[in-house]
Structure 1
Amino acid sequence: MLGLNLLPSLLHCCFLGSGLSPPQRVRVVVYGGSGTGKKSLISTLNNRVYCCPQDGRRLLLEVQLGDGLSQASVAMILLDARKPEIISLDTIDVARRIAISTCVVHTKLDLVPCDYSDPHLRFLASRPLLSHRLDVDCLSVNLKTGEGIDDILAFIGHSVAGFSAAPRPPRITSFFRRLWSQLLDCIAACFALPLPGPPLDVSAELAPLTSDSDVVNLMDQPLDTAWGEELKRRLGAEDAPYVTVNKISPSLIVKDPSGSERASMALVREKTTIPIPRDLCPHLSCLVMDFIDGEMLYECWDRLSRFMQFRVACTLRRYTKQLRSLTRPAPGGLGDGCVRGVVFSDSVYGPFPTARSFRQFCELVAFRGWRAKAVRAIEAKEAIPPLPRPDLIDWAMPAFVHGDLNLSNVMLDRQGSLWIIDWANAGYYPPSMESIAMRRVDEIMHAEDVSSSWRRYRSFVAGTVPTEEEAFWDDFVIGSVHFPGNPC
């Protein structure tokens, strides 16, 4: 015991002698039931020096059994992976009181068969389930082989130093990615389409609109009826019973806004240079906007020259970059804080108070989707699909995205300027969500109707997304049937 007590002092002297500053001491406490491997984990981690890869900070771990009294930086609650459902809520409460960060660690992995049997699937399901229900990080470790120790160290480093524990590409890779992105931004700036001129004066058409009833009285008039039929023809939806937008005068259209659409439009108009219709009657419940005289890309894309298509893509790249520069800690739409859109199967979920809670929900839903695919693969004796990889997604700081950047929501006006319409699904999401939503619409839902030349520009317009991240959101869509949200 005397030797163990002197070890930190000896390490301190060694660092002073080598010219290095001594490591920061970090107290870690371990809880767990009988036979969960507490002593083995303490033996593995105690007096270990961990170097944080982000800033080179060294941490000297002081690990001991939790007594529920002494304060600590990190508390770890060990669970036998064979019985992942057995966890004490009292222990969770004690750990949270005495530690800054708390995590659940599954042990005894060597005793869990990795054969996608029921016990194996139950263990795999317990991680996202516990994370979502208890709001804790869930890790796993094999104390015989050391598998998972690096994840535990990364979690401790993240808890103390505040850096993300998610894997990052090598610095040289990140440098060249940034350089390539900046080069593409320069090209986009050179070929982007011009911004529109001053808006039309529509004060005479707005004067009669003092209430919602005034707007309603202008609906279903000959002008509106003719325009609705024309719009259905332009969209190839002649059999649709109605359209969601009405034309009430030569320069005005109206629609029912979503919960956050009006606020999203105000934000985009204030913070960016993206051309969007004006909210002309903010005092009304309906959304009265400018009529954009032009064509949807859905109508004209295939008629455009390749050079003009490239200019449109350059313009959209500049627009999405402006949107991604708008960030906030909490995900979801402005105002209501809920998430919605094509990736969420046109349902509404939330609100989620933090990006962390949103991630935990998405992990749980994606796992349910993956498990459904895995069970089908097992029954068909096919290869099991890889597990979802939420760790590859940038959840930390949600960015503003349009959320439905398809060909019918981008308009080219008569003067050659590009407008973005329909901000019903806009909100704060992982930055890659713009590209994920475009893929969902253009390559899955309407693949036969969308030109391949448009699909090729997705990564240029909205960013490249790893295949594993696309698979995660595919799993989420499948799993969402088990988590019915509110209708849009």
Structure 2
Amino acid sequence: MGFVADVLDGIGTIVGVVPSTRPPSDYGPSDVDHLTEEEMRSLPKRPTLSEELGVELGDNNILRLTDGTVDKIVFDGPEPSEATTLDMVFRNTTIPVPRVRRVIGTGEDVSIIMDYIKGRQLGHVWPTMSFFEKLRVGFILRRYIRQLRTIRHSRAVVPGPAAPGFEARVCQSHIFGTRQPQRGPFASYAELAAFWNERNRSSMEIETTYWNVPPEEAQACHKEPFDDSHPLVLTHGDLNMRNVLVGDDGRLWLIDWGASGFYPIWFEFTIMTYQAKVIGAPIEDDVFWMRLMPFICGPYYHQARWHSRASSSLNFL
């Protein structure tokens, strides 16, 4: 499937399914470029996008700042990883993402001022799409993920959120479940692998102690180690229909990069399938969408099953 998909992906690029260059409009000025931080903070308070549109978008920390920008409140210091990632993606790919215009604030409580993207969440549009429109979405998202994985950055040796320098940051990722999604920091790939191998061992003990699984069966299921055979790659980390916008300009935009970072190549698929099961939106269970996931991210079924078994101990540790 991979070879055929690569050929079709190449053809799609040639015929313009996914543009090979970023349009000039992406480099245009915004309506806050001339404002100081004080002037931006003195602007009249506006509602969240959900309140403004009358649709729940899961964006309680995102306020409309001006007609062309939004203010996203984050809590990871004066150099927020999401802003760093967005800038990296903007400069190194053709993926449509909101352009960061300014980071304001001090201490842990800061705001990312970024472009407001006119469009609708994919989940709201998906039921009205034809088969070929949905297939096109799959090809475009696959191309986006492949672009992310080609980014070469010195930070890629440190697992977790992007940041200046090499200091490890706490990982905020759905790969760690919902009970305690913040883990780490992990200073190296080896530390991340050690964390998961320990969780795998603990899960085996839980199965034999509390679930009465025969020791031989548990050992057989947990004998393999964490797969760290591929280099860390830039990962969106929250790829679901809520975070894909069908723009008024006809492009697919990727938003909400708060869970992004450098992770093993199979994390994107594992998180995407996990999100489809727990996100709570029935549309995420769409059969065609589920079948597109391995096409978009790569068919890392084996690693996803390993993670499912190893992650049961996350509820205890």
Cα distance in 2, alignment partners of residues 231 and 348 from structure 1: 31
**CA 1:311–1:379 in structure 2 vs 1: closer, same or farther (change >3 Å)?**
closer
Question: Which residue of 1 is the match for residue 298 of structure 2?
Answer: 463
Deviation at 1:203, TM superposition (A): 4.2
Deviation at 1:411, TM superposition (A): 0.8
**Aligned to 1:388, which of 200, 214, 222?**
222
**Aligned to 1:333, which of 157, 161, 175?**
161
Cα distance in 1, alignment partners of residues 41 and 177 from structure 2: 30
> For 1:274-316, what per-residue CA distance to the aligned partner results, in whole angstroms no more than 9, with x for missing partners?
1111110145531011110111102111111111111111111
**Aligned to 2:83, which of 233, 248, 262?**
262
Deviation at 1:402, TM superposition (A): 0.5
SS at the partner of 1:286? strand
Cα distance in 2, alignment partners of residues 456 and 187 from structure 1: 21
Question: Which residue of 1 is the match for residue 26 of structure 2?
Answer: 199
> Any gaps of 5 or more consecutive residues in structure 1?
1-176, 484-488
Question: Which residue of 2 is the match for residue 440 of structure 1?
Answer: 274
2:177 partner amino acid: S
Cα distance in 1, alignment partners of residues 272 and 114 from structure 2: 25
Alignment of 1:92-241 (within 5 A): 179-189=3-13, 190=15, 192-194=17-19, 198-199=25-26, 201-208=28-35, 210-211=36-37, 214-218=39-43, 220-221=45-46, 224=47, 227-231=49-53, 233-235=55-57
Question: Which residue of 1 is the match for residue 63 of structure 2?
Answer: 246
Count of residues paired in the alignment: 295
Deviation at 1:214, TM superposition (A): 4.1
Structure with the larger RCO, 1 or 2 (CA within 8 Å, 6+ apart): 2
> Does residue 1:323 correspond to 2:148, yes or no?
yes
> Any gaps of 5 or more consecutive residues in structure 2?
none
Cα distance in 2, alignment partners of residues 217 and 350 from structure 1: 37
2:116 partner amino acid: F
Question: Which residue of 2 is the match for residue 417 of structure 1?
Answer: 251
> Does residue 1:291 correspond to 2:116, yes or no?
yes
Q: Would the aligned equivalents of 2:186 and 2:192 in 1 still touch at CA under 8 Å?
A: yes
2:175 partner amino acid: V
Question: Which residue of 2 is the match for residue 342 of structure 1?
Answer: 174
Cα distance in 2, alignment partners of residues 282 and 444 from structure 1: 32
**CA 1:358–1:293 in structure 2 vs 1: closer, same or farther (change >3 Å)?**
same
Alignment of 1:79-90 (within 5 A): none
SS at the partner of 1:198? helix
SS at the partner of 1:412? strand
Question: Which residue of 2 is the match for residue 15 of structure 1?
Answer: none
1:244 partner amino acid: N
Cα distance in 2, alignment partners of residues 191 and 386 from structure 1: 48
**CA 1:321–1:204 in structure 2 vs 1: closer, same or farther (change >3 Å)?**
closer
**CA 1:379–1:458 in structure 2 vs 1: closer, same or farther (change >3 Å)?**
closer
Deviation at 1:477, TM superposition (A): 3.1
**Aligned to 1:273, which of 71, 76, 94?**
94
Cα distance in 1, alignment partners of residues 160 and 99 from structure 2: 22
Highest Rg: 1 or 2? 1
**CA 1:197–1:309 in structure 2 vs 1: closer, same or farther (change >3 Å)?**
farther
Q: Would the aligned equivalents of 1:373 and 1:385 in 2 still touch at CA under 8 Å?
A: no
Q: Would the aligned equivalents of 1:356 and 1:395 in 2 still touch at CA under 8 Å?
A: no
- Segments of 4+ moved more than 6 angstroms: none
Cα distance in 2, alignment partners of residues 273 and 254 from structure 1: 23
Output the TM-score relative to the length of structure 1.
Answer: 0.55
Deviation at 1:397, TM superposition (A): 1.5
Cα distance in 2, alignment partners of residues 415 and 434 from structure 1: 27
Q: Would the aligned equivalents of 1:234 and 1:299 in 2 still touch at CA under 8 Å?
A: no
Q: Would the aligned equivalents of 2:159 and 2:189 in 1 still touch at CA under 8 Å?
A: yes
Question: Which residue of 2 is the match for residue 154 of structure 1?
Answer: none
Alignment of 1:10-49 (within 5 A): none
Q: Would the aligned equivalents of 2:123 and 2:283 in 1 still touch at CA under 8 Å?
A: no
Cα distance in 1, alignment partners of residues 29 and 50 from structure 2: 21
Further displaced range: 319-328 or 197-206? 197-206
SS at the partner of 1:256? strand
Deviation at 1:202, TM superposition (A): 4.8
2:161 partner amino acid: G
